[in-house]
Chains A and B, each alone.
Chain A
Amino acid sequence: MLLYKSLHMKNKIFKLVFTVWVIIWIFLLIREMFAKGNIREYNALLHRSLDGKRAYVTGDRLYEFLSFCNAELPEGAKYMFFGLEEDSHDKRRATYYLYPHLEAEEADFLLMFNEPILSRTGYEIISKLDDTRYILKDLKRRGR
């Protein structure tokens, strides 16, 4: 009898724990999909091409500039990037998308993102996407 009662009690506890678990699971799923706005993101991503998806996660403006740089920079070019915070997520993305171009202290090119055009001695604009996104080239290294 005692064993039966103890089993009955354990059954009840297991059912209770399992029910609570399932309720929390459903709550977390709904929160993850709707409250965190993931459904909206999935919807936006679903019909985009791979490039479109890259632009979406990187930010259209930045991705457009990175694609522009990749098209304009000569093979093996070294660059310095201005306009993104060091070690920021965007900076890491820029490094990833710009490879095989590498960032270096002694760079031939300065990639200016969200930077107003100001005259810099020793540099000239070689390519411009718009007034705040452009590429400067070091004149001293012109021949290289």
Chain B
Amino acid sequence: MELFRLALSIFAAVFIGWNILYLISFRKIKLSFLERLFISYGSGFGFISLEMFLFHFFSIKFSLIRIIAPWTLLFITNLIIYLKREGPYGRDPYDMKDRGNILLNSFLAAGIIFEILYAFFRALIKPIEAYDAIATYAIRSKIFYMENSIPHDFFYNLSLLFPHPDYPLNIPLSETFVYLFLGNLNDQIAKVIFPLYFLATLGILYFGVRRFSGRTGALLFTFILASVPQFNHFATNAYHDIPLSYYCFAGALFLLYWFKETESLGCLYISAVMTAMAGWTKNEGFVYCAANILLLLIFLFINRRGIKKKDILNGLLYICVILLILTPWLWVKFTANLVNSDVGSTTLSELNIIKQSYKAWPILYEFQRQIFGPKKWNIIWIAAFIAMAVYRKKIFADGQKYITISLILTVSGYIFAYLIGQDEIRHMVGTTWSRMMMHFLPLTVYWLAYLIKDEFAERKG
């Protein structure tokens, strides 16, 4: 019975996510059914948690009916749109007949399925217990569930008793949503949301690579990402890094899709929603909000001759959607003066990068240690550096350049955060950088796949 309730909570989140995206984009863009499901999953939980957060402003108690009822209006609207639609909406932008090397494909698919099942097994074998998972996130979801709301003085009193009061509440509130469905505080099976984010990230990567490569290429790069031990491990320990990776990756990818086809507005809206959700999941998500907005401005500047007025307006709309989604959280954060314990209340003098430049060497040292040190065994970074050297002429070529710029902006954003941080720099970089790198790992794998896509075409030829 409990598993049925759990499945129902996931179904509810996906269904709500599906309806939101159907209204804003699904009718107009080409996506496969599974890809739609993977996107709906994250947006569903994101919007439900946002709704639960908005309840706080109106002192509304949580109940499943109160949470789900408003979405029925959206469902009815979509039903009317669906029945009145003219012609079918777009599907599958890939050549689904391409079967590739069946033996290799079977091996890769088996490897991916194994990694996914193993992630689910490891997540569900024990309750939430990892340090940050319990100290920062699970304690908050427990409070919200037991109080049946976000207590009215939560941000001014209660939250300050636990570490990182400034961390966004997407995942704690998503956990609370699952608890409400379960009817109890089973923090073992509620962990299912984390491997599901892992699965959805792999799915989005697969369909992303599938747009320019055959089945073998897409399976190969999905396998590469799935087989990174640290990435798989973090899908099981209830940390928020994999959900953040998911939102960052989807946000960047759909923005890149829009760059290719500016008529495909749905992609821009999905990117805006996912990027904002990154900021609503972890503070690091704000780096991606800034990076994607900058990337959009760079795109508009580079293509200024061919750009139409409506593209600029769409760009402005993109920024507005991100701000709109994040405003309630930013409002609470500033009014309650929730300060990050690592970055602190940054003063103007700390923003003076030249003054902080002494931190550059320790940062670079830690970076190379995390990349080349055997401890993490994440050889994607080494592979990426080799590929960068071999294909150096291509990294700023058409199409590829925006993915490269996106990665550069992200890394620069993190370096900036490290520079203005108040914590001891070696400790801060040493304890966080490998996790930060996971946030843009899916995009790096996609970048790698895009970089060598011609090799697959040549081999096929």
Contacts of B134 in A (CB 8 A): 92-93, 96
Contacts of A58 in B (CB 8 A): 129
Interface size class on chain B is 20 to 34
B186 located at the interface, meaning its Cβ lies under 8 Å from any Cβ of chain A in the complex: yes
* Separation of A50 and B191 alpha carbons in the complex (Å): 13
B339 located at the interface, meaning its Cβ lies under 8 Å from any Cβ of chain A in the complex: no
A82 located at the interface, meaning its Cβ lies under 8 Å from any Cβ of chain B in the complex: no
* Separation of A45 and B139 alpha carbons in the complex (Å): 23
B131 located at the interface, meaning its Cβ lies under 8 Å from any Cβ of chain A in the complex: yes
Q: Which of A108-142 contact B (CB under 8 A)?
A: none
If A57-B126, A99-B143 touch, does A92 touch B377 (CB 8 Å cutoff)?
no
A61 located at the interface, meaning its Cβ lies under 8 Å from any Cβ of chain B in the complex: no
Q: 1/0 per position for A1-45, CB-CB distance to B under 8 A?
A: 000000100110010011001001100110010000000001001
User: Is A11 within 8 A of B224, CB to CB?
Assistant: no
B188 located at the interface, meaning its Cβ lies under 8 Å from any Cβ of chain A in the complex: yes
User: Is A92 within 8 A of B131, CB to CB?
Assistant: yes
Within the complex, the shortest CB–CB distance from B346 to chain A, in Å, comes to: 24
Contacts of A10 in B (CB 8 A): 455, 458-459
* Separation of A24 and B376 alpha carbons in the complex (Å): 12
Q: Which of A97-113 contact B (CB under 8 A)?
A: 99-100, 102-103
Partner of B229, one of A18, A28, A95: A28
User: Is B377 within 8 A of A24, CB to CB?
Assistant: yes
User: Is B111 within 8 A of A96, CB to CB?
Assistant: no
B162 located at the interface, meaning its Cβ lies under 8 Å from any Cβ of chain A in the complex: yes
B161 located at the interface, meaning its Cβ lies under 8 Å from any Cβ of chain A in the complex: yes
* Separation of A23 and B131 alpha carbons in the complex (Å): 32
User: Is A14 within 8 A of B127, CB to CB?
Assistant: no
B171 located at the interface, meaning its Cβ lies under 8 Å from any Cβ of chain A in the complex: no
If A24-B379, A95-B135, A96-B138 touch, does A50 touch B127 (CB 8 Å cutoff)?
yes
Partner of B146, one of A14, A17, A45, A99: A99
Q: Which of A52-87 contact B (CB under 8 A)?
A: 53-54, 56-58
* Separation of A2 and B308 alpha carbons in the complex (Å): 45
* Separation of A45 and B131 alpha carbons in the complex (Å): 19
Contacts of B146 in A (CB 8 A): 99-100
* Separation of A7 and B458 alpha carbons in the complex (Å): 8
Contacts of B131 in A (CB 8 A): 89, 92
Within the complex, the shortest CB–CB distance from A50 to chain B, in Å, comes to: 6
User: Is B135 within 8 A of A56, CB to CB?
Assistant: no
* Separation of A96 and B146 alpha carbons in the complex (Å): 12
Within the complex, the shortest CB–CB distance from A76 to chain B, in Å, comes to: 12
Contacts of A93 in B (CB 8 A): 129, 134
Partner of B135, one of A14, A50, A96: A96
In the complex, the chain A residue whose C-beta lies closest to that of B383 is A17
If A21-B224, A92-B135, A103-B161 touch, does A57 touch B229 (CB 8 Å cutoff)?
no
If A25-B111, A25-B227, A46-B125 touch, does A99 touch B377 (CB 8 Å cutoff)?
no
User: Is A99 within 8 A of B129, CB to CB?
Assistant: no
User: Is A53 within 8 A of B458, CB to CB?
Assistant: no
B142 located at the interface, meaning its Cβ lies under 8 Å from any Cβ of chain A in the complex: yes
* Separation of A100 and B121 alpha carbons in the complex (Å): 30
* Separation of A53 and B126 alpha carbons in the complex (Å): 6
If A28-B229, A92-B134 touch, does A56 touch B126 (CB 8 Å cutoff)?
yes
* Separation of A100 and B185 alpha carbons in the complex (Å): 13
Q: Which residue of A7, A29, A100 has the most chain B CB atoms within 10 A of its CB atom?
A: A29
Q: Which of B118-169 contact A (CB under 8 A)?
A: 121, 125-127, 129, 131, 134-135, 138-139, 142-143, 146, 161-162
* Separation of A32 and B118 alpha carbons in the complex (Å): 12
Within the complex, the shortest CB–CB distance from A37 to chain B, in Å, comes to: 14
Within the complex, the shortest CB–CB distance from A4 to chain B, in Å, comes to: 11
Within the complex, the shortest CB–CB distance from B183 to chain A, in Å, comes to: 14
User: Is A96 within 8 A of B142, CB to CB?
Assistant: yes
In the complex, the chain A residue whose C-beta lies closest to that of B162 is A95
Within the complex, the shortest CB–CB distance from B450 to chain A, in Å, comes to: 16
Q: 1/0 per position for B104-128, CB-CB distance to A under 8 A?
A: 0000000100000000010001110
In the complex, the chain A residue whose C-beta lies closest to that of B226 is A25
Contacts of B142 in A (CB 8 A): 96, 99
| 5 contacting pairs across A/B (C-beta < 8 A) | A10-B455, A42-B125, A89-B131, A100-B146, A102-B161
**A29-B229, A99-B146 given; 6 more Cβ-contact pairs under 8 Å:** A10-B455, A21-B227, A24-B377, A42-B125, A58-B129, A92-B131
8 shortest A-B CB distances, which residue pairs? A92-B135, A57-B129, A25-B227, A96-B134, A45-B125, A96-B139, A28-B229, A89-B131
